[in-house]
A and B are shown apart, each in its own frame.
Chain A
Amino acid sequence: MLKINDLSKKFKNFEVLKSININAESSQIYGLIGSNGCGKTTLLKHIIQVYKQDTGEIFYKGTKIDEISDVIKDFYYVQDDLFFPYQHTLNMLFNYEKLLYKNMSKDKFDKLAKFFNLDKNKNLNRLSKGQKKQAAFVLAIAANPKVLLLDEIVDGLDAVVRRKFWNVLIQDVIEREMTVIVSSHDLKELDNICDKVGIMHQGTIIKEEKLEDIKDNIKRVQFAVDSEFKPIEGESFKVVKTSKIGSVYFCVIKGNVDEFKKALENKYKILVFDELPMNLEEIFITELGGVGYGIEDFIS
């Protein structure tokens, strides 16, 4: 498993990462989500040792990671802003990377290239953005890494390719007990595949939990009561947000929804009460709203 303890980094006087703590398990896809410029890419580049942290440590299966540690040889990083060496084809790049990654599989590479319908002899720099992403992904999976870091990997891919992409990834995670950290803005995509998410904002991880637990802990309810609803408080729940459409109220509840319903029953006569699931995007907006992000109204 990959563990980050109290990692901090300053770019000159600006603190980009502040006491980051992350725990990504094996056979798990870890979703790194966050506001723009919150430091997701910077964090991934720290894990792969492109950047060096000012303080804090990164461990993989108990071994501390630095540039010269052996375990990092099993890490693979696919960056958002892709680079391919000048005049290299996918075949050429595979041959080069084969010299670097000890587990690089030719068989897997060929199968994946075929699966994604990629021309292995075409100059990589002449491919479309989506094809480049696929090429980079093919190489990453063919390398059979133990830790795979994917930065905005599905950005620019069409829905069909995305589906193929996630299928390959999930299959590989299950088969090889790989740890995957994937950062993305497309929260709907991550919603379906992540085991765990870390929500980043302004250089800190404001929440890190299994997606399942997060969803259990935060719910949206809609209800109608016999008189005007006024916010209520309870020890085991917290009303994060309230809105009203017609006579129906919508509340986002953190904590025990049953307790909330009981507290509601004590004060009002409930006419209608429904519990609605929240998706990752809604959770994300709610969490960031809690720290004051995106709650401002535009005043013209």
Chain B
Amino acid sequence: MSYLDDLYQEIILDHSKKPRNFKELSDANHKADGYNPLCGDKVSVYLKLEDGFVEDISFMGSGCAISTASASLMTQTLKGKSLGEIETLFKNFHNLVTGKSSASTELGKLAVFHGVSQFPVRVKCATLVWHTLQAAIKSKPETVSTE
């Protein structure tokens, strides 16, 4: 498999063309906007947190295949997860895409992003939504407007 096939795996292409949870969340209680001024990628993360668990999560935005698929697969993976689990997942995901470690079992489908590690300039594409998620978690609850 070439580096390119490794990067653009079928599941990544599928999620980039048909992103899941790609909508505004009307009852979200946390939200944050992420922006990469270098490439113009934009993402908004909508989060409904209940007692430290992700009850629901969605995203909106525009970006490349890697950033869109990353957002789509992240939202799928995080439903029902606790804040503690999210922290661990992000750490593992970051290590995966920067080539510091191989995929751990808890990453599940997110393991498809291992190919990103061969493309250092694309790491930011894969992690933008995760950084935005962190900002959403830290944002004050119930200040979200979906206007």
Co-assembled chains A and B: no
